[in-house]
């Protein structure tokens, strides 16, 4: 173990056409006190000159001719890093002046800590409704989660360099901004390493979410691959799986909410074909149950943005439960197909073979 009194820290930022958000990311990084020992920017096939901004900033720049994904970019940055601690942030994240000192202090105070993750703050950079909703929900999820985390987070996550390299870094098969950080966290936990969610370590997310970008990211880049990991962990270690599915977005209340949303959809579809008092009552019961079960998050939205904003979040929140449940169902079918049907298809047809 490295002497904690002399810990150094390298900031690693993968960027692909970062634009104004990346400019703000670097500007805020320049205000860090104390500054990091090293800043490494991996330009992942960018075409907007983001690498030049990084060079002007004074960062060590690694340029890739074509985009290979943030997992590969972060791994290349980690191999270039010389510090004891690797601190990963995204190119659309702005840190605070004391962020670097917070990270170093935590590792100094907890020499047996392997990795830590932070949280988005409650003041997202983009002003449109979906960006405010999405980032505030992310903030709430982290702020109400257990400090003993089961996942890593590439947008604001730090890890000891020697352990990161020993674990092989991020899984590079994820070519999109996906769940490569979650997958790394699962492997760390399986090896017995400790990951801490530090709720006071906050960064600002600058990304502007739109309808298409939000749904695509949540469904294809998060829910589907996350389901695949959960099922893989369940097959390998049922004990670890129980711990993983109780973390962050996978709490019991969220799973119950998914069931209630589908019950509500079923009641509404039934009411279209068969109108009755019983169906109407069931619809009201399911809706009320969802509101009651998710009361804490709606209270949070109300405290932060008021009544009208909170009302607007409800259908989006329920839609989130709907497509999360759909992704889980699709993931189970795909997992079952790969595990049971695909091996059968690969078996040779032995009916016409000669036997010895």
Establish if 58 belongs to a structural domain.
yes
* DSSP secondary structure, 268-307, as one string: HHHHHHS--HHHHHHHHHHHHHHHHHTHHHHHHHHHHH-H
Establish if 291 belongs to a structural domain.
no
Would you state the pLDDT for residue 249? Answer: 56
Alpha-helix residue ranges (DSSP H) falling in the chain: 19-29, 50-57, 70-80, 99-109, 129-143, 161-166, 180-190, 211-216, 224-236, 238-244, 252-273, 277-293, 295-305, 307-336, 342-346
Residue 25 · residue 89 · CB < 8 Å: yes
- Ramachandran angles phi, psi of 81, nearest 5°: -65, 145
Establish if 263 belongs to a structural domain.
no
CA dist., res. 164 & res. 184, Å (int): 9
Alpha-helix residue ranges (DSSP H) falling in 30-157: 50-57, 70-80, 99-109, 129-143
pTM to 2 decimals? 0.89
Would you state the pLDDT for residue 233? Answer: 78
Would you state the pLDDT for residue 24? Answer: 97
* DSSP secondary structure, 88-114, as one string: EE-TTEE--TTHHHHHHHHHHH-TT--
Establish if 64 belongs to a structural domain.
yes
Q: Domain residues for 74?
A: 4-209
> 């980690």: which residue's tokens?
78
pLDDT tens for 251-277 read: 788 999 999 999 999 999 988 788 788
Domain count, the chain: 1
Residue 195 · residue 210 · CB < 8 Å: no
Token pair belonging to 106: 């935590």
Would you state the pLDDT for residue 149? Answer: 92
- Could you tell me the CATH number of the domain that includes residue 47? 3.90.550.10
> Hey, which residues does 143 pair with through a beta bridge?
none
Establish if 343 belongs to a structural domain.
no
Establish if 283 belongs to a structural domain.
no
Q: Are strands 148-149 and 93-94 parallel, antiparallel or unpaired?
A: unpaired
- Ramachandran angles phi, psi of 165, nearest 5°: -70, -35
- Ramachandran angles phi, psi of 43, nearest 5°: -80, 105
> Hey, which residues does 176 pair with through a beta bridge?
none
Would you state the pLDDT for residue 234? Answer: 76
Contacts by 259-262 with C-beta closer than 8 Å and gap 24+?
Answer: 259/325, 260/286, 260/289, 260/290, 260/293, 260/321, 261/290, 261/318, 261/321, 261/322, 261/325, 262/322, 262/325
Establish if 76 belongs to a structural domain.
yes
Rounded alpha-carbon distances, angstroms, from residue 215 to 34, 134, 209, 210, 301 = 38, 11, 9, 8, 20
Residue 152 · residue 117 · CB < 8 Å: yes
What does each of the 356 residues of the chain score in pLDDT, given as a tens digit?
444 457 999 999 999 999 999 999 999 999 999 999 999 999 999 999 999 999 999 999 999 999 999 999 999 999 999 999 999 999 999 999 999 999 999 999 999 999 999 999 999 999 999 999 999 999 999 999 999 998 999 999 999 999 999 999 999 999 888 899 999 999 999 999 999 999 999 999 999 999 999 999 999 999 999 888 888 877 776 665 555 555 555 678 899 999 999 999 999 998 878 878 888 899 999 999 999 999 999 999 999 999 999 999 999 999 999 999 999 999 889 888 877 765 544 434 433 333 22
Establish if 48 belongs to a structural domain.
yes
Would you state the pLDDT for residue 345? Answer: 47
Residue 80 · residue 62 · CB < 8 Å: yes
Closest by CA to 156, choosing from 65, 76, 233, 88, is 88
Would you state the pLDDT for residue 211? Answer: 97
Residue 45 · residue 17 · CB < 8 Å: no
Residue 177 · residue 149 · CB < 8 Å: no
């Amino acid at each position: 173990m490295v002497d904690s009194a002399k810990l150094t820290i390298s900031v690693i930022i993968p960027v692909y056409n970062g634009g104004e958000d990346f400019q703000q990311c670097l500007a805020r990084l320049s205000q860090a006190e104390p500054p990091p020992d090293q800043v490494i920017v991996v330009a992942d096939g960018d075409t907007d000159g983001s690498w030049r901004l990084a060079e002007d900033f004074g960062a060590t720049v690694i340029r890739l001719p074509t985009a290979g994904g943030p997992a590969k970019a972060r791994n290349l940055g980690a191999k270039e890093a010389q510090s004891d601690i690797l601190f990963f942030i995204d190119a659309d994240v702005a840190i605070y002046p004391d962020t670097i000192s917070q990270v170093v202090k935590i590792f100094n105070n907890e020499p047996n800590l392997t990795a830590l993750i932070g949280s988005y703050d409650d003041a997202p950079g983009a002003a449109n409704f979906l960006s405010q909703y999405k980032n505030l929900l992310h903030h709430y999820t982290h702020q109400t989660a257990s400090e003993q985390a089961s996942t890593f987070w590439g947008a604001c996550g730090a890890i000891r360099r020697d352990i990161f390299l020993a674990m092989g870094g991020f899984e590079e098969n994820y070519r999109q901004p996906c769940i490569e950080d979650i997958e790394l966290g699962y492997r760390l936990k399986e090896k017995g390493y400790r990951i801490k969610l530090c709720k006071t370590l906050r960064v600002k997310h600058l990304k502007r979410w739109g309808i298409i970008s939000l749904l695509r990211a949540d469904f294809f880049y998060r829910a589907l691959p996350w389901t695949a990991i959960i099922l893989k962990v369940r097959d390998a270690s049922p004990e670890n799986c129980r711990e993983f599915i109780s973390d962050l977005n996978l709490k019991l209340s969220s799973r119950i909410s998914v069931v209630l949303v589908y019950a509500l959809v079923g009641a509404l579809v039934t009411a279209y074909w068969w109108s009755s008092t019983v169906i109407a009552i069931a619809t009201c019961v399911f809706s009320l149950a969802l509101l009651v079960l998710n009361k804490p998050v709606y209270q949070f939205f109300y405290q932060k943005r008021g009544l009208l904003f909170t009302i607007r979040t409800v259908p989006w929140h329920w839609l989130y439960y709907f497509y999360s449940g759909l992704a889980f169902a699709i993931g189970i079918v795909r997992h079952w197909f790969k595990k049971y049907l695909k091996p059968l298809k690969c078996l040779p047809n032995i009916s016409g073979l000669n036997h010895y």
